[in-house]
Structures are given as C-alpha cells and as structure tokens.
C-alpha cells in the first residue's frame, strides 16, 4: 500500500514512523503546506518523498493529520478518489467533521481520534512510540465502507493501539472533559501568572506542580483554537462543571471550612484510583 500523510507534524510524523514497520505499507508519501516541515520530514526520514496533492489523491490510504478545520476543507478537495481509497482523519473533534464529509466520499472516510499527543509540535517532535499502546476512538464506523473499516482497524491494530468505538457526538462530549477543558485551563493558568505584576519573581519559584499544570499551554494555539471552536457547546458545558467545583472550594477557603475542603480533596484523590 502507498500511504499519504497530509500534515507532517507531531501526529502525522509519528504515524508515519509507526506504520513504516508494517509489511502492508510499501511507500509513505508526504504533503504539507509548510516548506520547512517538508524539508524536515525528508531529513528525518519520516516519509519517502514529498508530493503534490494530485499524487496524494492516488494513494491507497490517505491520513489527515492536520488541524480540524483543515480536515473539513481537505475532505472536499479529496472528492474524486477511487472507491477503494481509505481516508483516515485523526482530528480531535469528530461530530462536525463527520457531518461535513461530502456524501459521495462518506464510504471512503474513517473518523478516528488517537488519544495521544504531547505539547510539542512539528516534524522534530515526532517519535515512533507515540501511538503504541494508546487508545484510538473510531466514530460512526458503521457508516464507512467495509473495506475502509477493515483497512483502518488493521493499521491501528498493527501499530498496537487499543480500539474503542462510539458515536461522534458521544466522543466530543467525553473529550471536552478529559482533553479540551484541561488545555483551556492550562492556557488560563499561564496567562493568570503572566498578568501578575511580579510574574518574573513568581516564575523563579516554579516547580513540578506549576510546570505540570501549565505544560499544555505550550500546545499550538492554531490547532487548539480550531478544536475549541468546533466543540464549543460541549466545552462550555465542561467548563460550567469545573467552575462550579472551583467556586465551592473557593467558598470553603473563604469561610475557613477546612474539614469540608479536606473532604473535597479526598474525593478528588479517588480519581487516580479509577485511572489506574
């Protein structure tokens, strides 16, 4: 199989590295608007060659590893591929993407979200273990063609991902809580400190806790702006839950209700018993 990767950053570059090991993959070709990314992808050996969009459309498998708004635009440009072409989108939102797929392309497309990533971006951030042993959510898979379903499942399974199936709307609701909201909070935390008049002195004291919580604020604003826009309603709902909990704990501190605060913190501790 010839596989085309559109978007040669962290996700696309790492995907290329992962599938290079598969016997079913013959050639990996790359496409990216960023010329520096094209150059780096070749230098790092992520892809065999950089091609134009017409050659991308002739690939057996096309992987969309670009921001979610770009995925929607790109799907329209991919109309006209053969009926046997498999298009896999790796977007972090799913409902808007799925509903935007051109009707004559629907069987070609597999809507997937690998639950992995880092705060780094670009081809130099790619590494071959990014997808290993991680969850990939396949959304509305029954609406994809049988051949496309089999191809995507085969690829994800062979790069050792754990497959989970759900509806696109259900996916977007869940990831708002465990991915999109934490990113927005991290950006807010970083800005809250930076706006303080003594932020340089404060940051001199920054240790593990602050670094862990603000790490996500290093993520690409262009990518995350698109995600927030596409999942606006679910994101706002998740923020309401967060604001409610934050306000409760703020009032406990104001009222010096330390026992209640301790109980709240112990409740929070139980989360990691579930995540084990």
Residue 43: predicted pLDDT:
95
Confidence band of 210 (pLDDT split at 50, 70, 90): confident
Domain ranges of the chain: 2-166, 171-275
Residues 6+ apart with CB under 8 A from 13: 5, 41, 44, 46, 123, 125, 126
Mean pLDDT of 81-93: 96
Same fold, 2-166 and 171-275: no
Residue 194: predicted pLDDT:
84
**pLDDT above 80 for 206:** no
Residue 61: predicted pLDDT:
98
CATH 1.10.3660.10 fits 171-275, yes or no: yes
Tokens of 29: 């070709």
**pLDDT above 70 for 48:** yes
**pLDDT above 70 for 168:** yes
DSSP letters for 183-238: HHHHHHHHHHHHHSTTHHHHHHT--HHHHHHHGGGGS-HHHHHHHHHHTHHHHHHH
Tokens of 49: 């060659």
**pLDDT above 70 for 202:** no
Look at residues 82, 78, 57, 56 and name the one whose alpha carbon lies nearest to residue 148.
82
Look at residues 133, 115, 249, 131 and name the one whose alpha carbon lies nearest to residue 180.
115
Mean pLDDT of 228-243: 96
Percent of the chain with pLDDT over 90: 82
Residue 192: predicted pLDDT:
87
Residue 197: predicted pLDDT:
63
Mean pLDDT of 107-129: 92
CATH architecture of 2-166: 3-Layer(aba) Sandwich (3.40)
Confidence band of 207 (pLDDT split at 50, 70, 90): low
């Amino acid at each position: 199989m010839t596989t085309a990767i559109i978007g040669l950053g962290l996700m696309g570059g790492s995907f290329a590295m992962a599938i290079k090991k598969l016997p079913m993959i013959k050639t990996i070709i790359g496409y990216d608007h960023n010329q520096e990314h094209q150059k780096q992808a070749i230098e790092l050996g992520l892809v065999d060659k950089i091609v134009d969009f017409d050659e991308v459309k002739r690939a057996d498998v096309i992987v969309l590893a670009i921001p979610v708004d770009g995925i929607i635009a790109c799907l329209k440009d991919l109309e006209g591929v053969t009926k046997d072409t498999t298009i896999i989108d790796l977007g972090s939102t799913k409902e808007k993407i799925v509903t935007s797929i051109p009707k004559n392309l629907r069987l070609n497309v597999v809507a997937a979200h690998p639950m992995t990533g880092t705060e780094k971006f670009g081809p130099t951030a790619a590494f071959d273990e990014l997808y290993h042993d991680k969850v990939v959510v396949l959304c509305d898979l029954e609406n994809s063609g049988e051949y496309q379903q089999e191809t995507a499942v085969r690829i994800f399974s062979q790069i050792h991902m754990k497959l989970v199936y759900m509806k696109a709307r259900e996916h977007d609701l869940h990831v708002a809580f465990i991915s999109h909201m934490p990113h927005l909070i991290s950006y807010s935390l970083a800005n809250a400190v930076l706006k303080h008049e003594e932020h340089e002195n404060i940051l001199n004291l920054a240790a593990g806790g602050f670094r862990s919580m603000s790490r996500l604020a290093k993520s690409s604003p262009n990518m995350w702006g698109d995600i927030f826009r596409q999942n606006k309603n679910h994101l706002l709902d998740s923020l309401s839950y967060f604001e409610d909990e934050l306000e409760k704990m703020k009032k406990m501190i104001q009222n010096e209700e330390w026992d209640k605060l301790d109980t709240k913190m112990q409740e929070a501790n139980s989360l990691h018993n579930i995540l084990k």
